[in-house]
Chain A
Amino acid sequence: MTVLVIAEHDNVSLKSATLNVVMAATQTSKFTDGLVHVLIMGHKAESVVLAAAQITGVAKVIYVDGTQFAHGLAENVAAQVLTIAGQYSHVMFPSTASGKNVAPRLAAKLDVAQISDVTKIESSDTFERPIYAGNAIATVQSTDAIKVLTVRTTGFDAAIATGGAATVDSVAAVAGSRNTTFVGSEIARNDRPELTAAKVIVSGGRALGSNEKFMEIMTPLADKLAAAMGASRAAVDAGYAPNDWQVGQTGKIVAPQLYIAVGISGAIQHLAGMKDSKVIVAINMDADAPIFSVADYGLVADLFVAVPELVSAL
């Protein structure tokens, strides 16, 4: 049977997380002898539809247009997926804030379990997922007819964004919920790469001491490396960095080519979010900091001296 991928987008562009989910779906479809379809629920999202139809491996794109989908409200999105979910063996979402919001709602409506943060497809019904902040990996088998998954993007390569020629179908939209309304959002715009898709991430911890110092020390390093910026929970809680920069068990899961941890101790909750990075650099004053246990290159130094020095050496 066919695998359905729920696209992540902002009505303008397709988010790269969708590509990783298509890859997971393509791997799954090998076990089910099926195809991969992508569902786009949005408002005036034609450019997203065009992009999705070009992804290698996608046979069909299904587009649903309506103002009730403009902000991805879980009630409306889950109700829409529910109308077609029965035609699929698997429904896959990215493990992003929006995927995690909707997938369980859909699963409960279907009376099936939901499998979170899948990092490996073993067969059509068996999957790997990390538990306990990544300190253990569970292999789970689902007994349900429809498998509803969220896919951890770091577990799968991105499908190729071009080369495909999917057909496009439009389907009728369900009515929106009257009990939930979107009021507004504060989405920071900047020119940096997205945290979860970046090749290089520089991440700062509590040691930075203030928002001013965080930006003064970390921004030049990020600029030099064309990096995304991340932070520990302690730095975010203290207001040194925005919420959506948090890397970790309960923040973003990242796996860049290079992750530079500055003044971060390396609590298990932080390691959970970055220990699959290819190369990890840690700069910390305390030689016994646990971050050094996962670092490829460790430097025991005062960050306020070492980071500016690093910036000028790059």
Chain B
Amino acid sequence: MKIIVPVKRVVDYNVKVRVRSDNSGVDIANVKMSMNPFDEIAIEEAVRLKEKGVATEIIAVSCGVTLCQETLRTAMAIGADRAILVESNEDLQPLAVAKLLKALVDKEQPGLIILGKQAIDDDCNQTGQMLAALADLPQVAFASKVEITDGKASVTREVDGGLETLLVTLPAVITADLRLNEPRYATLPNIMKAKKKPLEIVKPEDLGVDVSPRLKTIKVSEPPKRSAGIMVPDVATLVAKLKNEAKVI
């Protein structure tokens, strides 16, 4: 069974982005870029399935600019066997990415597609569910445990009140939540090996997909600032302030 893992290149989770003064977007020139943290978890899960003998090949896919090759090399250093870059300078929104992935799913016929639940830049939380819709596959979003037996996946997912377990027939789409696993670090030898693994480059046109954005960003602004608070010296002062000043208790 093949597994496809889509990985997105995003601003590193440690970076606090700044809004551009002309409100046209956030400033990402010269900031550290990394693989979306949820996608590292997705890759790790695929690698574990391969180590268990469930999967035979892992294909990492990224859609975006030329530099996404770095993200794909990282995925291969963690354990993906090969990679596909769908190269485009367009602002790729989740629906467009889902269509590109659908085209690759048609071509590669994977048994499983594992995505991250959410990209930490656009915070959309959409692409996996959209891919499942377009490919007409079962979906399990926000997975915290995956077990594969006899062509089915038993998946535990995080829901608002706790956890639930679903059984889906493969092929299926799964999106990874934080507690699915703890991703390994890529070792130096594996980083070296990843440089020699195959990385194919295709264009959206090659896949017959129109990637024009459906949403227009009118402006990007700073969130409202909280006014500065005060430090209190002790618990008694805190209680007095909450009672008499804030009036919340």
Contact = CB atoms under 8 A, between A and B. Distances in A.
A185 B218 CA distance: 42
A135 B17 contact: yes
Contact of B130 (A107, A184, A250, A280): A107
Interface in A193-207: 196, 200
A71 B164 contact: yes
A59 interface: no
A154 interface: no
A142 interface: yes
Contact of A294 (B141, B168, B226): B226
A187 B13 contact: no
Given A74-B139, A116-B123, A139 B158 contact: no
Interface string A85-108: 000000000001110111111111
A141 interface: yes
Given A268-B16, A296-B230, A278 B248 contact: yes
Contacts, number: 253
A273 to B, nearest CB: 12
A240 to B, nearest CB: 13
A102 B159 CA distance: 13
B160 A183 contact: no
B91 to A, nearest CB: 11
A297 B229 contact: yes
B215 A297 contact: no
B123 A108 contact: no
Nearest to A75: B138
Interface stretch (A35-43, A50-58, A126-134): A126-134
Chain B CB within 10 Å — which of A73, A143, A177, A296 has the most?
A296
Given A74-B141, A142-B214, A250 B249 contact: no
Interface of A: 71, 73-75, 78, 96-98, 100-109, 111-117, 126, 130-144, 177-188, 196, 200, 225, 233, 236-237, 242-244, 249-250, 252, 257-258, 268-269, 275, 278-281, 287, 292, 294-301, 306, 309-310, 313-314
Interface of B: 11, 13, 16-17, 19, 26, 38, 93-95, 98, 117-118, 120-134, 137-142, 144, 154, 158-169, 172, 177-179, 214-223, 226, 229-232, 234-236, 238-239, 241-242, 246, 248-249
Given A97-B142, A105-B130, A237-B178, 14 more contacts: A109-B133, A113-B94, A131-B122, A179-B168, A180-B166, A185-B164, A185-B165, A243-B158, A250-B117, A257-B248, A258-B248, A279-B246, A297-B229, A297-B230
11 contacts: A97-B158, A113-B95, A131-B122, A132-B26, A132-B120, A183-B165, A185-B159, A243-B163, A287-B231, A297-B242, A309-B235
